[in-house]
C-alpha cells in the first residue's frame, strides 16, 4: 500500500485529498474505496417504482424516508462528497444455514467505527472539523447508487453490486463530507452479459425480472425481515436456510472466480454458536434456547435482528424441510412455546415429518 506520508498535498487540493482518503481507507481495512459527488440519485425513479409495486413488504423503513433517498445531499445537509467503501466478508467460506455476512460481528458496528476513524483522520489532515456522517445500511441513502457512481462496480442481475476483482460478497458504507473531493469515474459497464444463473437458481423465484427483486419472496427477507408467518407455499423453498441466503451470489461467475477468503482475525469469522454446525444441529439448538442463552450466544450479532422468536420460526421450517423423525421431540416441545408464531411453524414441520397432509 502506498504510504500517505509520500502524498503531501496542499490541504485544499481535491485530487490529492481524494487520493489520501482512499489510501487511508485501505489502511483501515476496507477492500475498496472510491469518491462520489453527492446529488440526485440516478436510481431514485426505479426505487420509487419498486416501492409502489409492494416489493418492500414489511420493510416500512424504506418508504418512510423516500423523499430523502432521491438526493444523496438530503440525509445530512451541507455535504458535497462521499467516500464510498466496501469490506469483504468471506465469499470463499463454505455455505451453510446462516448467510456468510451474519456469522460474525455486526457489520454496522464494525464499519461505522472505521468510517468514524476515517472522518477523524480527515479532520486532522485538513486541520479543521469537517461536517459529515458515516452511513452503513442504516440511513436514507441509496448506497449502491453511490457505489456505482464512485466506480466500485455495476448492478448485477441479482441486484447486488458486483466488483470485477472482488465479486459481490462485501458490505458497502459511506462517509459523507462537507469537503470538495475529486470524484472517481463511475462504473458504466454491465458485465453480466447474457448470464442468468442467479435468476435461475433462486429457490423461491424471487426475481420478477433481471435486477428486480420481489423481497417478499426472497429467503433473506422471509427469514430476517418478515415478522409474521412464512407463507406456506414458500416454506419448502427455504430449505435448510436458517438466516439469510447466499444462493444468487454463490452461482455468480464473478464470485466463483474472484470471491476472497476471510482474512485472519476477521470480525466476520463465525462465532462459537454457529461454527461447525449443520442446519439440523443449529435448528435444534435454537428451538431449545432461552432468551438469556440467545442474548449471550449472539451478542453483537446481526442475527439478533430476527429476534429469538423469528429464529425459532425459521428453525421449525428448516427441520420440516431437512429433518427426520429424530427431530420430532424438539418440535413437539416447541408446540408449547410461548409464541404462537413458533407453535404454528412447529406444527407444520411435524406434519411434514409424520407424512400427514
Return phi, psi of residue 322, to 5°.
Answer: -125, 0
| Strand, coil or helix: 87 | strand
Q: What pTM was computed for the model?
A: 0.94
Averaged pLDDT of the chain: 95
Query: Is 71 among the catalytic positions?
Result: no
Rg, C-alpha atoms of the chain: 22
pLDDT at 5 over 50: no
What is the rounded average pLDDT of the residues 95-113? Answer: 98
d(CA 316, CA 319): 5
Query: With 70 as the cut, is the pLDDT of residue 11 above it?
Result: no
Model pLDDT, residue 272? 96
In this structure, what C-alpha cell is assigned to residue 31? 477492500
Instruction: Evaluate if residue 197 carries a pLDDT over 90.
Output: yes
* Average pLDDT for 69-76: 96
- Please report the pLDDT score of residue 356 as a whole number: 61
Least confident range of 3-17, 39-53, 237-251, 330-344: 3-17
Q: Show me where the domains of the chain are located.
A: 4-177, 204-244+271-354
Catalytic residue among 137, 178, 246, 278: 137
Confidence band of 3 (pLDDT split at 50, 70, 90): very low
Matching CATH number, 204-244+271-354, of 3.40.630.10, 3.30.413.10, 1.25.10.10, 1.10.357.10: 1.25.10.10
Q: Phi-psi region for residue 32, left (φ > 0), alpha (ψ -120 to 50) or beta?
A: beta
3-state SS of 246-284 is CHHHHCCHHHHHHCCCCCCCCCCCCCCCCCCCCHHHHHH
Cell output for 30:
476496507
Q: What is the pLDDT at residue 355?
A: 83
Residue 10 has pLDDT above 70, yes or no: no
Q: Residues 6 or more apart from 138 whose CB is under 8 A from it?
A: 108
Amino acid at each position: 500500500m502506498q504510504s500517505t506520508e509520500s502524498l503531501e498535498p496542499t490541504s485544499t487540493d481535491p485530487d490529492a485529498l481524494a487520493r489520501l482518503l482512499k489510501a487511508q481507507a485501505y489502511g483501515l481495512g476496507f477492500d475498496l474505496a472510491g469518491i462520489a459527488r453527492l446529488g440526485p440519485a440516478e436510481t431514485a425513479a426505479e426505487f420509487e417504482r419498486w416501492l409502489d409495486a409492494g416489493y418492500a413488504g414489511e420493510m416500512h423503513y424504506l418508504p418512510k424516508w423516500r423523499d430523502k433517498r432521491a438526493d444523496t445531499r438530503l440525509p445530512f445537509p451541507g455535504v458535497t462528497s462521499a467516500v464510498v467503501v466496501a469490506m469483504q466478508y468471506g465469499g470463499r467460506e463454505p455455505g451453510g444455514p446462516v448467510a456468510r455476512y451474519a456469522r460474525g460481528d455486526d457489520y454496522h458496528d464494525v464499519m461505522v467505527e472505521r468510517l468514524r476513524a476515517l472522518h477523524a483522520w480527515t479532520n486532522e489532515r485538513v486541520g479543521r472539523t469537517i461536517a459529515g456522517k458515516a452511513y452503513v445500511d442504516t440511513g436514507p441513502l441509496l448506497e449502491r447508487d453511490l457505489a456505482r457512481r464512485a466506480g466500485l462496480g455495476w448492478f448485477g442481475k441479482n441486484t447486488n453490486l458486483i466488483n470485477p476483482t472482488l465479486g459481490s460478497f462485501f458490505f458497502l458504507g459511506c462517509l459523507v463530507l462537507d469537503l470538495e473531493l475529486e470524484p472517481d469515474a463511475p462504473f458504466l459497464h454491465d458485465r453480466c452479459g447474457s448470464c442468468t444463473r442467479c435468476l435461475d437458481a433462486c429457490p423461491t423465484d424471487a426475481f420478477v425480472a433481471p435486477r428486480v427483486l420481489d423481497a417478499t419472496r426472497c429467503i433473506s427477507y422471509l427469514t430476517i425481515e418478515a415478522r409474521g408467518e412464512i407463507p406456506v407455499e414458500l416454506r419448502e423453498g427455504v430449505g435448510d436456510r436458517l438466516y439469510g441466503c447466499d444462493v444468487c451470489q454463490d452461482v455468480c461467475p464473478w464470485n466463483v472466480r474472484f470471491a476472497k477468503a476471510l482474512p485472519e482475525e476477521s470480525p466476520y469469522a463465525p462465532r462459537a454458536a454457529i461454527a461447525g454446525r449443520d442446519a439440523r444441529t443449529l435448528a435444534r439448538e435454537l428451538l431449545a434456547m432461552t432468551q438469556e442463552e440467545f442474548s449471550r450466544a449472539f451478542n453483537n450479532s446481526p442475527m439478533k435482528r430476527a429476534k429469538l422468536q423469528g429464529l425459532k420460526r425459521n428453525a421449525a421450517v428448516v427441520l420440516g424441510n431437512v429433518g427426520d423423525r429424530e427431530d420430532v421431540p424438539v418440535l413437539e416441545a416447541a408446540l408449547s412455546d410461548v409464541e404462537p408464531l413458533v407453535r404454528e411453524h412447529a406444527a407444520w414441520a411435524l406434519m411434514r415429518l409424520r407424512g400427514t397432509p
